[in-house]
Amino acid sequence: DIVMTQSPDSLAVSLGERATINCKSSQSVLYSSNNKNYLAWYQQKSGQPPKQLIYWASTRQSGVPDRFSGSGSETDFTLTINSLQAEDVAVYYCQQYYVVPWTFGRGTRVEIK
Amino acid sequence: QVQLVQSGGEVAKPGASVKVSCKASGFTFTSYYIHWVRQAPGQGLEWMGWISPNSGGTKFAQKFQGRLTMTRDTSISTVYMDLTMLRSDDTAVYYCARDFPGRGSDYWGQGTLVTVSS
């Protein structure tokens, strides 16, 4: 199975500042036939189901604010939240969907400092 | 609009079974795989498997082999997740999620809490 390692486990960021979350996969999730990384980011607020923010490592899902951005390729990925807002308090998960079983990182809790 | 509406919470005894439903609307039911993901209290997300509503084909995570069944009823656009031989560590919120091909899970159900307790 592909192991997804997220860091940090939690971080506290001041309103308006940047939050950066890292995710490393134990093997490449780059699909060579279309040159897409099969890596997604999800946001989960307390008591709610996950919401997809990013797919293909860097493509924002429709309706997701542009302060959320994803980057990286093959095994190393980053989710950046620019100008953190109060409504961004949540746990964020990376997921690879390159191969079954799909696997998730353990999550990063983002709080307001 | 795309919606996945799950059945209500369940309480089951150890060794029993539970069946959770997920009713789809707002899209062509047979065109998208449905995945099931669970989340134990205070824990992360765990992928369980998928079902093709078109063919009924399934794929499960190894740890659930032999205990997990997924079925569908195309006449009512509903998929079912059936987990048997329940243990206390199966206590979790179970989510269904739509698979957009090549993009991961773009829509999720609201979740169903399954509590396993004697």
- pLDDT tens digits for A37-80? 999 999 999 999 999 999 999 999 999 999 999 999 999 999 99
Condensed to tens digits (0 to 9), the pLDDT of residues A84-112 reads 999 999 999 999 999 999 999 999 999 99
Chain A residue numbers touching B111 (CB-CB < 8 A) = 49
Chain A residue numbers touching B37 (CB-CB < 8 A) = 50
Rounded distance between C-alpha atoms, residue B95 and residue B108, angstroms: 7
Residue B76 burial (CB count, 10 A):
10
Contact predicate B84/B14, CB 8 Å: no
State whether residue A25 sits within 8 Å of chain B by CB: no
CA atoms within 13 Å, Cβ hemisphere of A79: 31
Which helix (H) or strand (E) element contains residue B48? strand B46-51
Residue of B nearest to A48 (CA): B110
Per-residue pLDDT for chain B (118 aa), expressed as one digit of tens each? 999 999 999 999 999 999 999 999 999 999 999 999 999 999 999 999 999 999 999 999 999 999 999 999 999 999 999 999 999 999 999 999 999 999 999 999 999 999 999 9
Rg of the Cα atoms in chain A: 13
